[in-house]
Chains A and B, each alone.
Chain A
Amino acid sequence: MTLGSGGSSVVVPRNFRLLEELERGEKGIGDGTVSYGMDDGDDIYMRSWTGTVIGPHNTVHEGRIYQLKLFCDKDYPEKPPSVRFHSRINITCVNHETGVVEPKKFALLANWQREYTMEDILTQLKKEMATPHNRKLVQPPEGTYF
């Protein structure tokens, strides 16, 4: 929507961009099926974030809450944040050992553009859970973590 709308002419600096995302996360602006916020409100670089994805309906993920860690390094949003599942999940784009969302297998990270937001990542991951090859995979018990 409005995020990065001025991007063509004005490059939104990292801090403003993250503050904007923070506000959207806190106020639940957006499609409201994902939630995210900063881990440490005192970190002036706003690097470490927590996100949750609520499992989409009609999938094995339904009713589950997946927690993720997102880390926006100094080069965000030029470079994608690193994204890691905290809650155990079995989907193709997530490393089974570490929970890291592997950019090679997750198009949004592979073809990252600076207009993309963490919300986009989370909603895309949610869509990923609902894809035919992921929606019926046997999942580890709920409440287990990487």
Chain B
Amino acid sequence: MGGAGDSSESKVSNEQGQGQGEEGSVVINIRCSNGTKFTVRTSLESTVGVFKSVLAQNCDVPADQQRLIYKGRILKDDQTLHSYGMQADHTIHVVRGFAPASSTPAPAATATATAAAGGNPDTTTGVTRGVGSNEGGAFGLGGAGLGASLFSGLGSLGGGASDLEQVQQQLTQNPNMMREIMNTPAMQSLMNNPELIRSLMMSNPQMREIMDRNPELAHVLNDPSILRQTLEAARNPELMREMMRHTDRAMSNIESTPEGFNMLRRMYENVQEPFLNATTMGGNAGNDSGSNPFAALLGNQGGNQVRDASNNPSTTGSEATGGLAAPNTNPLPNPWNNAAGGTQTNSTTRPNPAGNVRASGLGGLGLGGPGLPGMESLFNGMPDSNQMNQLLQNPAVSQMMQTVLSNPEYMNQMLNFNPQLRSMVDTNPQLREMMQNPELLRQLTSPETMQQMLALQQSLLPQLRQQSTQEAAQPGAPTGTPNNTGLEMLMNMFGDLGAGSLSAPNQPNVPPEELYATQLSQLQEMGFFDTQENIRALRATAGNVHAAVERLLGNLGQ
């Protein structure tokens, strides 16, 4: 291979594409990260973005997830291949990456749709294809809702008191704030972990059942890239709106095809009803969906689909009676209206948690709404304090909390968002001071304190739950003595804090090496090289490095 002749040849070819007269197209070798290779014929004048879409036809990585590497550099979409000095027979590496975070809304939206369509295993007929893209859209929003509710779990740590929806409402109406939060490193690390979101979903038995029954759906939900995309979308309000618009378009187009309406109906029956059942069942079984912690969370997903369906019957209904077969040119039921008014819908139906789920379906963007009770009840519904403890000691979790807590600005904002909390704070300046003292907050959130709080909370739990149900039923109306409310607020706050961070690696089956990765490396740096011993010590001390060191040293001394 590496003879001298070759070398001199490459010297010639290295001279930045001078001998490139051969009518445009050249052959480029592609190597995927999974080891497959193929060649593509392309023009060197085409941009990387265009080239990616060519590649997408040849490999299973959608264009917006491709990351191309050539000569050790990551290629940017708007550059031409030629500008990177690309030559015939050169090799480009393709790596599956995450969908670009700051992508321009429109292309990314279409890309998502195509990605979903491509991800659907049986994309044979035009109709199914349409459904594929519809799924993409709907889940896109669902995922967004998920993101929103994840975030709302966080948000509630400041405004953790009862009037959660209000906080959320304000947040959803403030896309900038939302984006800001979504862009925090903590949130990002959450988002980069689709595994987690999936595990959240999978831990809902009803959800699992649906997925078992609908392989296509399971496929969509199981595809980490789609989940990731949807979470990305949540960060970008424009993108989200665009996606919703696409969904509506797609739906109306499907309707105008002969079998389209039936198709949609089937889809509704197969997917949406079980979804709704799964969510509302949980909501009915326990107040405030207490017994089914994920119900509200997932309700967003179901709800989204309802949105489509509820738009459709209105149009299809008239079509059916009128016998219209022509493509529907009427303006669609205004999707933006929903998006903007979603939270309002939410608040009017607030008294009924189950209704809330439905309402959020109508509300497109308002999905975050029920997410919070979900989070809250997630905590309530988690009797296993060990699990919670583990969680609280997880370095990732504490890191996340610290990022949030160490920013007084942030806390402030959150405090201000919740009128009830604010009034509490206003009447009690000391409390405000307390809330804004990062040092104190850190102390409060130290694993030990959290544990104590947890124990306390558990003893208060029955009472607490009662109260929160009450409050859910009539938000704004203060219940109990002020004192009590305050206490409850604090409790809730910490509950939510914990629950919010549950989104971090709450996998009980996380290997201890992973769980205690930072502590382990710390121990290693301190000179404790026996990993097994370290893990044992960390386990025994629930991840407390200092205690672990003492333990290790104690062992040595014996």
Cβ contacts A27-67/B at 8 Å (1 or 0 each): 11100110111100100000001111010000000010101
- Main SS class of interface, B: mixed
> Counting CB contacts under 8 A, is A25 at the interface?
yes
Q: Are B189 and A28 in contact (CB under 8 A)?
A: no
Question: Which residues on B sit within 8 Å (CB–CB) of A20?
Answer: 2, 6-7, 10
Select one of A26, A63, A137, A138 contacting B95, CB under 8 A: A63
Select one of B4, B71, B96, B518 contacting A35, CB under 8 A: B71
Question: Which residues on B sit within 8 Å (CB–CB) of A19?
Answer: 7-8, 10-11, 14
Q: Are B72 and A28 in contact (CB under 8 A)?
A: no
Question: Which residues on A sit within 8 Å (CB–CB) of B269?
Answer: none
Interface size on A, residues (CB 8 A): 38
Number of cross-chain contacts by CB at 8 Å:
117
Q: Are A2 and B96 in contact (CB under 8 A)?
A: no
Q: Are B93 and A32 in contact (CB under 8 A)?
A: yes
Expressed in whole angstroms, the Cα–Cα distance for A67 and B69 within the complex equals 10
Nearest CB in chain B: distance from A31 CB, A: 10
Nearest CB in chain B: distance from A30 CB, A: 10
Q: Are A38 and B31 in contact (CB under 8 A)?
A: no
Expressed in whole angstroms, the Cα–Cα distance for A22 and B513 within the complex equals 40
- Main SS class of interface, A: mixed
Interface size on B, residues (CB 8 A): 50
> Are A142 and B192 CB-contacts (below 8 A) given A37-B71, A49-B72?
yes
Which of the candidate stretches B84-92, B324-332, B449-457, B469-477 sits at the interface with the other chain? B84-92
Q: Are B521 and A2 in contact (CB under 8 A)?
A: no
> Counting CB contacts under 8 A, is B556 at the interface?
no
> Counting CB contacts under 8 A, is A104 at the interface?
no
Nearest CB in chain B: distance from A140 CB, A: 9
B1-58 interface with A by 8 A CB criterion: 1-4, 6-11, 14-16, 29, 31, 33, 35, 37
> Counting CB contacts under 8 A, is B547 at the interface?
no
Q: Are A23 and B6 in contact (CB under 8 A)?
A: yes
Expressed in whole angstroms, the Cα–Cα distance for A16 and B514 within the complex equals 46
Q: Are A27 and B97 in contact (CB under 8 A)?
A: no
Q: Are A37 and B73 in contact (CB under 8 A)?
A: yes
Question: Which residues on A sit within 8 Å (CB–CB) of B89?
Answer: 27
Nearest CB in chain A: distance from B100 CB, A: 10
Give 7 nearest A-B pairs by CB, closest first: A37-B71, A28-B91, A50-B72, A23-B10, A36-B72, A51-B72, A2-B2
Pick 26 A–B contacts, CB within 8 A, sort by A.
A1-B2, A16-B4, A19-B10, A19-B11, A19-B14, A22-B10, A23-B6, A25-B71, A32-B31, A35-B69, A35-B72, A37-B85, A41-B14, A51-B72, A52-B69, A52-B93, A63-B97, A65-B74, A65-B97, A67-B73, A68-B72, A136-B513, A136-B520, A138-B521, A141-B189, A142-B192
